Chains A and B, each alone.
Chain A
């Protein structure tokens, strides 16, 4: 609430709270007291114990909606892939990191439940920004964001996750060095 024009001289004046003047016997007494208060504060931290999370051994738990590395899903009863190769995820991807090559299903040996399936499904995690739009765009809930976040690697090529790697359950990490490399 701002004061109305014309301002009265004592209107809107804030009285500043000031501590006692430093120095003198009283100042020394207060300084001693404050020192003891500081010592108490730090000692309370010993009793409280460390709050450190020692990362490689202890991990921060992620929230259920945490957007980590993607997962592709299969139907639990039939074992068929949910992905039908519609490429909507690739269209939704703002970082353009998903590549889908669709192919017709062979009726005798079906890969997916739909008419077509994803012959190639690659996500370049070096480009992915983990926005989750692919998950939103997917009409069949075939792709979701998982919880894995330890994705560092030595080669950019190793960060291109193929369909097999995204389908794999439990999570299968790329080996750090390929043979003959």
Chain B
């Protein structure tokens, strides 16, 4: 069978796919608590303090305590809420985040076994599709809460998505054109000579800025802007539903970092033998996560009109120009 978009001839048995999806779930649910404690400790260091260091050795059991507290909380919903949507919204966000992780390649096919969830022929479109569904989680959660703050947060989330997803897609388009494939595995393979961060530096910068906006992280955390909107779309949430939103934020951070690594930092490429490939991917991803936390510790939240003008007036023209130049260069060479 020939596929119109990308060449993914490597097909695995169903049971391998099942095992892989379980592994992805287990890994991501182990990484997220680590990320929360890492972020809090790093933020502490950035502010010349320690961060959590009371629960367990070096405060490493802090996420366990947090999770226990959140899970054991009462499940309630506001009287004005729409219960079904209110309950399902956090689940959507977590689900889409984990589902996106399926396409991230942690290594090439080794011994008849691809170190990725699935090599989908539409590749990055899958990522954008699930990224868009993730915003349904925020939007529904905010709207179904029946609260003004939640609603404002949800509206902001929607506007932010529209403003930044286009720039993000265009930023990745440059790398896709250079690789000549949508499949993430092919994109990484195409970077064996030079990482795309060098020829696609503008695209990389645009992708990172848009990535901060996509994950609702500082300095673009306007949907939850705690100084003005209490907690934005999550205002009315408590217990593990609130925890799900927090978890989803970290999963999305991880996914955006992984996509950035795949498209711009050469994925699994690195010195050393083949079995080090996943290690390289993880190291690069954590470098990006460090950047996320570093930026959060540094930059103040932008104003809403600044967010919009940055997205539409700077990033979008720049990304379009980047795509045009790349297209010309790819055609010429």
Contacts and interface: CB of A to CB of B under 8 A. Distances in A.
A48 B44 CA distance: 12
A42 B44 contact: no
Interface string B26-55: 000000000000000010111111100000
Nearest to B45: A46
A159 to B, nearest CB: 29
Instruction: Name A's interface SS.
Output: helix
Which of the four size classes fits the interface of chain A?
10 to 19
A129 to B, nearest CB: 32
B298 A51 contact: no
A50 interface: yes
A28 interface: yes
A61 interface: no
A28 B205 CA distance: 13
Contacts, number: 36
B50 A50 contact: yes
A54 B50 CA distance: 9
Given A45-B48, A49-B45, 11 more contacts: A38-B298, A38-B299, A39-B295, A42-B294, A42-B297, A45-B46, A46-B46, A48-B48, A50-B49, A51-B48, A52-B48
A49 B45 CA distance: 7
B330 interface: no
B159 interface: no
Contacts of B295: 39
9 contacts: A39-B294, A39-B298, A41-B298, A43-B46, A45-B46, A45-B48, A50-B45, A50-B50, A51-B48
Given A28-B314, A50-B44, A42 B298 contact: yes
A174 interface: no
Nearest to A32: B205
A91 B111 CA distance: 92
B49 A51 contact: yes
Interface in A20-58: 28, 35, 38-39, 41-43, 45-46, 48-52, 54
Contacts of A51: 48-49
A112 B294 CA distance: 66
Interface in B276-298: 294-295, 297-298
Contacts of B49: 50-52
Contacts of B299: 35, 38
Which of the four size classes fits the interface of chain B?
10 to 19
A35 B299 CA distance: 7
Interface of A: 28, 35, 38-39, 41-43, 45-46, 48-52, 54
A50 B294 contact: no
Nearest to A25: B314
A49 B314 contact: no
A83 to B, nearest CB: 45
Residue from A41, A42, A43 whose CB has the most chain B CB atoms within 10 Å: A42
B212 to A, nearest CB: 12
Contacts of B298: 35, 38-39, 41-42
Contacts of A42: 46, 294, 297-298
Nearest to B51: A50
Nearest to B53: A54
Contacts of B314: 28
Contacts of B44: 50
A59 B294 CA distance: 31
A156 B314 CA distance: 66
Nearest to A49: B48
B47 A45 contact: yes
A28 B265 CA distance: 25
Residue from B47, B294, B298, B314 whose CB has the most chain A CB atoms within 10 Å: B298
